[in-house]
Amino acid sequence: MTTDLHQKKKIAVIENSLFSTYTMRDSLMKRLLQEGYDVTILTHTNSFVEQVEKTGLRVINIGSGNLNPFKVFKYILNLYRALKKIQPDLCLTFSIRPAIFGNFITRYLHIPTITNITGVGPLFTSKNLAYRIARLIYRFALGKTKKVFFQNLDDLNLFLKNNFVKEEVAKRIPGSGVDYHKFSPIPRQQKDDHFIFLFIGRLIKDKGIFEFVEAARILRKKYPHVLFNVIGPFWHQNLKSNTITKTDLQNWIIEGVIDYEGEKKDIRKFISRADCIVLPSYREGTSNILLEAASMERPIVTTNTTGCKETVEDGITGFLCNVQDGKDLADKMEKMYLLTAEERNLMGKKGRQKMIKEFDKKIVINNYLDAIEEVLNVKDFNFSTQFQTLSQGN
């Protein structure tokens, strides 16, 4: 394909919120810039906007598109206007709202689209009206999508079973992958004799925060010197039935059952201080936190459910517990605590080996680059970019 050296292919990324520096999406966007693409992110802006724009990416705030009908309408209108203005050659969408609203609009505007189903949550089980509507419209929304990536086989098979996607466009990738160089082992930083269990995640019920607190209550009675730390944002963008209240959080802190450290942009030093990472989630796409923790050679306790079980070899790199079962979680956390430091270290080392072999971020990014080249038919686009660089060097 002959490509004008001065004409860049334009890609619009539809995302719920801006990503931090350590995500696959951040790495993918930077790689697309290196490959010569013009990239604009349509999202609900946050504190990362200045940091992201410094890399050469453009950001347009289209709002959050939550469950408020007025805000949903405004979100759709903003998204439509932004895409009309940009006129991208291709769109990438991540997570549920962009997958539904984004694909509706890109289908109407005849913009080829690649979608990443980052997780389905209670989509197929909830009786809530919003999820019932989502089930009805998903099939149409993804009907013309060029490629649909799934982060685990369970989600892929559910979408195929419900005829939401065609088999020829569906593909499983290893979650968002992990940069095992960035998330490399750091020797444990804790200097005293406290053993630390660390929960990292949004403070919503589906992440298992109530089960973590229940397990902490059980274990603190037997092991008073064990600490139960929590990192993550207080979250309001989910259904009310899935959120916790500020009173819940305040009471846990006052009770002394957990130590809450707020939201952190860089979690590596906090992982390095912990002895074990705990995520009792009800369901994930593939948990980034678990990938990052394992990459840093920390053993894991998580649930035997989609998006979590894939990251752990039970009894080898960590332990799996029952979903929504605080007592079983406590049993598995106690089992982890009673191991020797050498046994936990060996678990961590095997966990990192698993990450490097199965969840390398490069695998995910290469899948995206291949899909983009296929959709845009730009196999020679890299050559033109390299030719420009060589010409400038001369």
The domain over range 195-355 is classified in CATH as 3.40.50.2000: yes
* pLDDT at residue 269, as a whole number: 92
Cα 226 from Cα 36, distance rounded (Å): 51
Q: Looking at residue 238, what is its pLDDT? A: 57
Residue type, 337: Y
What pLDDT was estimated at residue 187? 84
Residue 360: name the closest of 187, 116, 179, 219 by CA.
Answer: 179
- The three-state secondary structure class of 211 is helix
Closest CA to 148 of 165, 123, 163: 165
Residues in the chain: 394
**pTM listed for this prediction:** 0.84
SS3 44: strand
Reported as a single tens digit per residue, the pLDDT across 192-217 is: 678 999 999 989 999 999 999 999 99
Q: Which CATH superfamily is domain 10-177+360-393 in?
A: Glycogen Phosphorylase B; (3.40.50.2000)
Q: Locate tokens 């195929």: which residue? A: 160
Q: Is the pLDDT of residue 229 over 50?
A: yes
pLDDT digits over 152-192, tens only?
A: 999 999 899 988 899 999 999 999 899 999 999 998 766 56
Would the CA dihedral through 284, 90, 15, 65 be positive or negative?
negative
Strand partners, 43: 61
- The one-letter amino acid code at 22 reads Y
Spatial distance between the Cα atoms of 156 and 72, rounded to a whole number of angstroms: 27
Lowest mean pLDDT among 155-159, 188-192, 239-243, 282-286: 188-192
Per-residue pLDDT at 60: 87
User: Helix (H, G, I), strand (E, B), or coil: what is residue 313?
Assistant: coil
326-349, pLDDT tens digit by residue? 999 999 999 999 999 999 999 999
Closest to 103 measured CA to CA, from 133, 140, 70: 140
Q: What's the Cα-to-Cα distance from 56 to each of 19, 31, 43, 151, rounded to whole Å?
A: 15, 11, 16, 28
Every domain range in the chain assigned CATH 3.40.50.2000: 10-177+360-393, 195-355
Q: Can you tell me the distance from the alpha carbon of 135 to that of 299, in angstroms, rounded to the nearest whole number?
A: 36
